[in-house]
Structure 1
């Protein structure tokens, strides 16, 4: 723990007012926020309802979905197992999953456990998670406007099926393991399989034994068991017209539990963040000094953003280090992280998807520092010249169903349109070495990097949101 700066006067009051307005503006049915500082809970508030239809209020013990914040728990479990001598992060994945292979990856340069945990395996984004989730959503109200036709799609409902699916994929690997970062839910799905093979126990049981139970957390994976506690939130999603509707069926994907299917309360996350900031020797199998492996970046997507093991990393944020992760699935928006120099941890959970809770997380940090609460995390760059914009414009695709980024020239420069619905997310401003920020009406909130192929400086791909997007054919 580094030098702790005292918080700005009235920071929690400023943050609370901002949070109340944020929840109303984004029509969030229910949410909970916890802030820990100095080993204590500085702030813990719930907003709205865990069940809007039953008028049941959310509280600090309401169980919310964590989505991809689960990855940090998977990574911590791996460190605990390594400390016990059950596995090593350097082990080839094929030691535990001998049937695993992927086009373009070779036994001479094997994918190791740490490659999967740091998104540096070379696996490209593919549709496996979407295929796995699809059966659990048949009959849900959201299916009317959110369904995809996966008739005849591969079955990806257990670990052998996940391995078989990846082995049969035709999209080649991006690069040799350890070379580039590209966010891979499939890689974390495989980590669940590795943990089961290494221990002989089910992945949820291992996470509970190694992390959840020793820390005294009520978090759990099984939806039925969570519902039986009477504390599980209902889920909500938005129609194309902006109406927030009840969407009761939880997304389920047994082969991807390690990717994003843990459920936890804000109180749980406060305990978890306090441990990460002030680890107690003997609490977990992993020694406190070994936790640094979680936050050692294996590769940088660009100089602004890196990835450790289950954690996104940002250095040089007002002289501080940020360790954080977000999550999003249907009915889930989450953002959790720490600022070690401030001995500060923040967790935000909501029961509506597509809520920009990252901005509320940053608002807490900004409040502490006495900055404007809505201040974005990045500095402005320079708009591209007409010649630069002409080279960069085009369509880039990740391979996931929502993974589309279109860069179009307009009167304001180079505009970014994201996803299947071509949502306007802002304009591109250039930094150095092909890096850029995306600037919306409030400032630069996202960053990425153009990957050039040597043909007159025309980008062949884009790294954005930690994912690799290839230029679409003919674009």
Structure 2
């Protein structure tokens, strides 16, 4: 009862402060942000977070919240590591722009100059692809296309690049923007070809070290061995759960960096100071400017304040105009983490938000809340608005899942004996998959390049199966088999849209 009473009065206090600040928003950061974030962490069920605001070359706020792992009392601090996911891309793009500024390459060089074996399904497109094309996501792939094959698998970087030739591009070359992680891997391999340094060693030696980012890790393989690190979390069947660390070093230049809010503040301060640290020019201003030049139109975006404009993509950064301010930003999401980095260059404002659950949108809401405060715009409580929409979408997903589970509970029999579905399957891009007998009149599916993962298959009747992956990030789905003349020909495999939106058809070979 005491906790409920305290929460009640805290909410009243928070509402009173916010109402007052609708008149003077300048007080929000100093007086109310702490309470706002603590309230949001509870509402979003976020175990741990770290937030930093940089203004005019100085850190004006750096705070850590919550715990590194649910159920433990080890608190997050400003040096605690989080995986930053696709915020890695800005490091990769900046490194290549640095090399261009040094005259060692041109962003408009063809990839085959550095990686002669590079190919795409469209030979002409493969021959024409430049470093710039890779860095701005315009090689014709759809968003996340190929990632089921490439992400968190046992494929090497060279194997992934070779398999890109097997992806059936969703769009004509350079016709439409499509977010492509494997393109960033390929661009990162250019660094090796030009300098003789691997992507990770170049990033460490020429960005991390001179910026003083001593705790930052380039590769996911090193993350579990760090002493001061968070654990990743997601929601499984309604419960917040710690999950294993992912291993995406095969796609390292696209998303493998692990960092702290303290180290990331040094990166952001340098970017907002034309690449200078004190009197030292660590990153050339030309390289920074090159990453911020618009290359593609991503989409038309409507903000919660009602404004609508275009979102553009530079090199490793999304670009927007918001309330007459130029915004340079990117999000990062890998298993168990979502993060955001935001720059407002003319205001010399930077915002860093790190969280250790991938089931929240506070990283998105909070950046707008902080910007609105600095821009002296009305308070809108973005977190609650995002949360309401999130809950509605989750309720819809749960309702669909309940129906599928109800169908399984009815013990509907498949069209053919279970043994007919057992066997070896193959997909040209992915490789091999096997279906084996499971427990309790079920089947099990295992994938060649995900050796620790399996999928549980339960009959929905006919030739449809309700599938639950052992890795919750893969989602839940219905896999339909194609049957002809009493013989199984193939199965359609589809993982969660946040991993890949393109389905895979696996043909039965035995």
Offset at residue 99 of structure 1 (A): 1.3
Structure 1 portions without partners, runs of 5+ = 1-5, 136-155, 379-398, 401-418, 423-464
Matched position secondary structure for 2:128: coil
Instruction: Go from structure 1 to structure 2 and tell me whether the alpha carbon gap of 1:239 and 1:84 turns closer, same or farther (over 3 Å shift).
Output: same
2:250 corresponds to which of 250, 255, 272: 255
Q: Output the CA distance in 2 between the equivalents of 1:252 and 1:53.
A: 24
Instruction: Go from structure 1 to structure 2 and tell me whether the alpha carbon gap of 1:107 and 1:229 turns closer, same or farther (over 3 Å shift).
Output: closer
Contact 2:177 2:298 in 1 (8 A): yes
Contact 2:119 2:126 in 1 (8 A): no
Instruction: Go from structure 1 to structure 2 and tell me whether the alpha carbon gap of 1:372 and 1:207 turns closer, same or farther (over 3 Å shift).
Output: same
Is residue 310 of structure 1 aligned with residue 316 of structure 2?
yes
Q: Output the CA distance in 1 between the equivalents of 2:476 and 2:330.
A: 25
1:213 corresponds in structure 2 to 209
Matches within 5 A, 1:100-139: 100-106=118-124, 110-125=128-143, 128-135=146-153
**Rg larger in 1 or in 2?**
2
Contact 1:32 1:60 in 2 (8 A): yes
Using the TM superposition, name which of 12-21 and 328-337 deviates more.
Answer: 12-21
Instruction: Go from structure 1 to structure 2 and tell me whether the alpha carbon gap of 1:78 and 1:245 turns closer, same or farther (over 3 Å shift).
Output: same
Offset at residue 421 of structure 1 (A): 6.8
Instruction: Go from structure 1 to structure 2 and tell me whether the alpha carbon gap of 1:283 and 1:132 turns closer, same or farther (over 3 Å shift).
Output: farther
Q: Output the CA distance in 2 between the equivalents of 1:469 and 1:239.
A: 21
Matches within 5 A, 1:422-461: none
Q: Output the CA distance in 2 between the equivalents of 1:263 and 1:32.
A: 13
1:393 corresponds in structure 2 to none
Contact 1:327 1:334 in 2 (8 A): yes
Q: Output the CA distance in 1 between the equivalents of 2:140 and 2:350.
A: 32
Instruction: Go from structure 1 to structure 2 and tell me whether the alpha carbon gap of 1:223 and 1:291 turns closer, same or farther (over 3 Å shift).
Output: closer
Instruction: Go from structure 1 to structure 2 and tell me whether the alpha carbon gap of 1:467 and 1:251 turns closer, same or farther (over 3 Å shift).
Output: closer
2:112 corresponds to which of 84, 91, 94: 94
Matched position secondary structure for 2:148: helix
Aligned Cα RMSD in Å? Answer: 3.0
2:330 corresponds in structure 1 to 325
When you count helix as a share of all residues, which structure comes out higher?
Answer: 2
Instruction: Go from structure 1 to structure 2 and tell me whether the alpha carbon gap of 1:283 and 1:466 turns closer, same or farther (over 3 Å shift).
Output: farther
Matched position secondary structure for 2:327: strand
Q: Output the CA distance in 2 between the equivalents of 1:165 and 1:280.
A: 36
Offset at residue 365 of structure 1 (A): 0.9
Q: TM-score, normalised by structure 1?
A: 0.70
Query: 1:14-70: per-residue Cα shift (whole Å, max 9, x none)?
Result: 322221111110111111000011111111111101133431100110010001111
Contact 1:181 1:466 in 2 (8 A): no
2:43 corresponds in structure 1 to 25
Q: Output the CA distance in 2 between the equivalents of 1:196 and 1:318.
A: 41
1:231 corresponds in structure 2 to 228
Offset at residue 223 of structure 1 (A): 4.0
Is residue 368 of structure 1 aligned with residue 374 of structure 2?
yes
2:166 corresponds in structure 1 to 168
Matched position secondary structure for 2:227: coil
Q: Output the CA distance in 1 between the equivalents of 2:221 and 2:117.
A: 32
2:349 corresponds to which of 338, 344, 353: 344
Instruction: Go from structure 1 to structure 2 and tell me whether the alpha carbon gap of 1:11 and 1:374 turns closer, same or farther (over 3 Å shift).
Output: same
Structure 2 portions without partners, runs of 5+ = 1-23, 301-309, 386-428, 431-473, 478-496, 504-510
Query: 1:350-393: per-residue Cα shift (whole Å, max 9, x none)?
Result: 111121011111111122223214259x9xxxxxxxxxxxxxxx
Contact 1:83 1:285 in 2 (8 A): no
Structure 1 segments of 4+ aligned residues over 6 angstroms from their partners: 419-422, 465-471
Matched position secondary structure for 1:354: coil
Q: Output the CA distance in 1 between the equivalents of 2:37 and 2:343.
A: 18
Offset at residue 255 of structure 1 (A): 2.0
1:272 corresponds in structure 2 to 267
Matched position secondary structure for 2:49: strand
Matched position secondary structure for 2:193: helix
Query: 1:178-221: per-residue Cα shift (whole Å, max 9, x none)?
Result: x3211111111211222222222221101111211111112112
2:291 corresponds in structure 1 to 294
Is residue 70 of structure 1 aligned with residue 77 of structure 2?
no
Offset at residue 277 of structure 1 (A): 0.9
Matched position secondary structure for 2:68: strand
Is residue 51 of structure 1 aligned with residue 62 of structure 2?
no
Q: Output the CA distance in 2 between the equivalents of 1:108 and 1:48.
A: 47
Matched position secondary structure for 1:18: helix
1:196 corresponds in structure 2 to 192
Contact 1:80 1:210 in 2 (8 A): no
Contact 1:29 1:52 in 2 (8 A): yes
Instruction: Go from structure 1 to structure 2 and tell me whether the alpha carbon gap of 1:163 and 1:289 turns closer, same or farther (over 3 Å shift).
Output: closer
Q: Output the CA distance in 1 between the equivalents of 2:116 and 2:74.
A: 48
Q: Output the CA distance in 2 between the equivalents of 1:27 and 1:258.
A: 30
Q: Output the CA distance in 1 between the equivalents of 2:173 and 2:145.
A: 21
Q: Output the CA distance in 1 between the equivalents of 2:328 and 2:200.
A: 24
Instruction: Go from structure 1 to structure 2 and tell me whether the alpha carbon gap of 1:352 and 1:214 turns closer, same or farther (over 3 Å shift).
Output: same
Query: 1:385-429: per-residue Cα shift (whole Å, max 9, x none)?
Result: xxxxxxxxxxxxxx99xxxxxxxxxxxxxxxxxx9679xxxxxxx
Instruction: Go from structure 1 to structure 2 and tell me whether the alpha carbon gap of 1:289 and 1:224 turns closer, same or farther (over 3 Å shift).
Output: closer
How many residue pairs were aligned?
A: 361
Matched position secondary structure for 2:64: strand
Is residue 354 of structure 1 aligned with residue 359 of structure 2?
yes
